[in-house]
Amino acid sequence: MPVGTQGTIKGILPEILPPSGTQIVLANTYHLMLRPGEKVVAALGDLHGMMAWPGPILTDSGGFQVFSLSDLSRMDDDGVHFKSHIDGAAVELTPARSMQVQNDLGADIIMCLDDCPPADAPPDRAAAAVERTLRWAARCKESHARPADQALFAIVQGGTDAALREHCLHELTGMDFAGYALGGLAVGEGFAAMKQVLDEFAPALPADRPRYLMGVGYPRDIVAAVCAGIDMFDCVLPTRNGRNALAFTTAGPIRLRNARFTADSGPIEADCTCPACRKFSRGAIRHFFFADEMLGPVLVSLHNVWFYQRLMCDIRRAIANGAMADFAANDPRSRLGPCE
């Protein structure tokens, strides 16, 4: 799912996305709650109308951004109290408030508010986060006002502690949610630790419900997670890197600001069908970045979205052909991690 933090995939018109293979996009509850506010979004035709996106939309609960972006004043079993990163205003986010905001935003899939501690949290903090996540999940389900047209997903916490994850999942499945997400990964634990959690724990997620790995990630992360049984992903990497002139290719990432691309007349990637590769050269795109033309970030963002969606299409084809293990072992994209 490409990420539209503020209600838009940065620099990309919504009608351009479907040809890439994009079926669903993500928007950010925390940011939209603060600006322009969920009531304004509702008045503009909810997220579908404001984003001019007729397809499915998922909104997160806002909890992760509270911990990562805001000035957190207090957290207790009622919710979180913080200062807005925009103007310093005092804000309270409770399970009921998160549901009310997401009900007003009108996304098709919405997420329970959860407590997401950092990867290096001590065991007692991780255990407390699981218990708080469970209490909040129950309150979210009670407060959800639109269950007929908005699927509510729960988030499984527990860090890299298998016993905590199993306890959290057992309690959440007893509440019967429409889907289940793995949270608290890709928060600093490293690829090896994340892969171990996925291999050991992802198969335990209900097989008849969507399985969602939040905030991940690099191509190698996605391939490893699919092998473990994960279905859904979101990440800002395609567009964030695109805005910084870094393009993903099957042979590895390339930095289009490098001088070696100055007079390069070839596309970003020869067999890519994205709008950037069909019409523009590496040299032209490099020039756009150095001339501070907005087209440069737009083109590389488009290419990266196409790259990720082609990866997902190829993964689905490999699964259908019973060849996912071979794909994971031999496709070069399965080894693409953080860009050095």
Give tens-digit pLDDT for 132-177.
999 999 999 999 999 999 999 999 999 999 999 999 999 999 999 9
In a domain, 176, yes or no: yes
CA–CA dist 34, 85 (Å, integer)? 9
Of the residues 104, 114, 115, 234, only one is catalytic, namely 234
Query: How far is Cα 259 from Cα 261, in angstroms, rounded to an integer?
Result: 5
Q: Which residue has the tokens 């209900």?
A: 206
Total structural domains in the chain? Answer: 2
Grade residue 69 by pLDDT with cuts at 50, 70 and 90.
low
Domain membership flag for residue 306? yes
User: Is 60 in the active site?
Assistant: yes
In angstroms, the CA 283 to CA 217 distance is 28
Considering 220, 236, 252, which residue would you say is the last residue of a domain? 236
- The answer to whether residues 103 and 190 belong to one domain is yes
Residue 340 lies in a domain: no
Answer for the pair 328, 220: CB distance below 8 angstroms, yes or no: no
The distance from CA 146 to its chain's CA centroid, rounded to whole angstroms, is 23
Confidence of residue 271 (pLDDT cuts 50, 70, 90): very high
Same domain flag for 59 and 179: yes
What is the residue-wise DSSP string for 226-283? Answer: HHHT--EE-BSHHHHHHHTTEE--TT--EETTSGGGTT--S-SSTT--SHHHHH--HH
268 & 219 share domain: no
**Strands 79-83, 246-247: pairing kind:** unpaired
Q: For the purposes of burial, counting CB atoms within 10 Å of the CB of 225, is it exposed (0-12), middle (13-18) or buried (19 or more)?
A: buried
- Is the pLDDT assigned to residue 328 strictly greater than 80? yes
Tell me the residue range of the domain where 130 lies. Answer: 3-236
The yes-or-no verdict on residue 11 having pLDDT over 80 is yes
Are 112 and 258 part of one and the same domain? no
Calculate ∠ Cα 116-118-124, nearest 5°: 80
User: What's the pLDDT tens digit per position in 83-105?
Assistant: 888 999 999 999 999 999 999 99
Annotated catalytic residue, options 46, 60, 120, 231: 60
- Tell me: pLDDT of 340 over 60: no
Record the pTM.
Answer: 0.96
Strand pairing category for 109-111 and 57-59: parallel
Please say if 331 is a catalytic residue.
no
Q: Which residues of 209-224 are buried (b: 16+ CB within 10 A; e: fewer)?
A: bbbbbbbbbbbbbbbb
